[in-house]
Structure 1
Amino acid sequence: MPHLTVEYSANLDGRADLARLCDALLATLIETGLFEVGAVRVRALRSEVYAIADRLPENAFVDLNLRIGKGRSDDEKKRTGEALFACATRMLSPLFETPHFALSLEIREIDADLSWKKNAIHPRLRGQ
């Protein structure tokens, strides 16, 4: 962990560079210093079917969902959220020039007893 999912409305194709956004969000997570590099994941999921607000076809959204393991203070989680939200806001700033875009972020803690993982990346990055 952390795993950041970027869900976005399909009508953002050609209006936002989601690959560039994912790269910037990955860098932001690593820059916090709170997460081991081999654990960080950022993925974008295109939402084909959606209904937004007053259903105008130009309405669009990006929803960021960050899942993290327990063990970080409230201050660390808040700073991480603020850094991610600032990064996304900056990267998506042209979309805010119209009254048809919504950006959201939520951080969720994962219960370690209910989470299974196997990661071959960690040993490589740790030099083991």
Structure 2
Amino acid sequence: MPHLSLEYSANLRGKVDFTELCLKLRDAVLGTGLFEIGAIRVRAFEASAWAVADALPENGFVDMSFRIGKGRSQEEKKRAGEAIFSTATNAMSRLLETQNFALSLEIREIESTLSWKKNAMHDRLRKQ
């Protein structure tokens, strides 16, 4: 864990390179020094149906959810959130200049006793 999920309105297809954005956000998460490389997941999902604000068809959004395990201080979580949000803001600055775009981020801590994982990448990456 950490897992960063982006949900975005379908009207942003072609306006944002979501593969590139995922790579930039992965680098931002890694750059915090708080998470192992093998645990980082960043993915984007298109919402084919949405209604935002006054329902203009050009209204769009990117909503980011960052799920992390417990054990980091409030300051560390805030630093991670600021790194992610700053990276997303920079990548989508053109959209933010319009009056039809919303960007959001929420950090959620996962209760470890209710989270199961197996990750075969850790051994390989820890040896590098």
Question: 1:7-61 CA distances to partner (integer Å, 9 max, x unpaired)?
Answer: 1000001111111110100000000000000000000001111111100000000
Q: Which string of whole-angstrom CA distances, capped at 9 and with x for unpartnered residues, describes residues 59-113 of structure 1?
A: 0000010000000000000011011100000000010121000000000000000
TM-score (norm 1): 0.98
**1:102 aligned partner, one-letter code:** A
The whole-number CA distance in structure 2 between the counterparts of 1:98 and 1:37 is 35
C-alpha distance in 2, partners of 1:26/1:20?
10
The letter for the 1-side match of 2:98 is: T
Structure-1 separation of matches of 2:40 and 2:99: 33
SS in 1 for 2:55: coil
Q: Structure 2 CA distance, aligned partners of 1:29 and 1:100?
A: 27
Tell me, in whole angstroms, the C-alpha distance in 2 between the residues paired with 1:125 and 1:15: 34
Q: Which runs of 4+ in 1 moved over 2 A?
A: none
Percent of matched pairs sharing the same residue = 62
User: How many pairs are equivalent?
Assistant: 128
TM-score (norm 2): 0.98
What is the RMSD computed on CA atoms of the aligned residues?
Answer: 1.0
Aligned to 1:98: 98
Contiguous gaps of at least 5 residues in structure 2: none
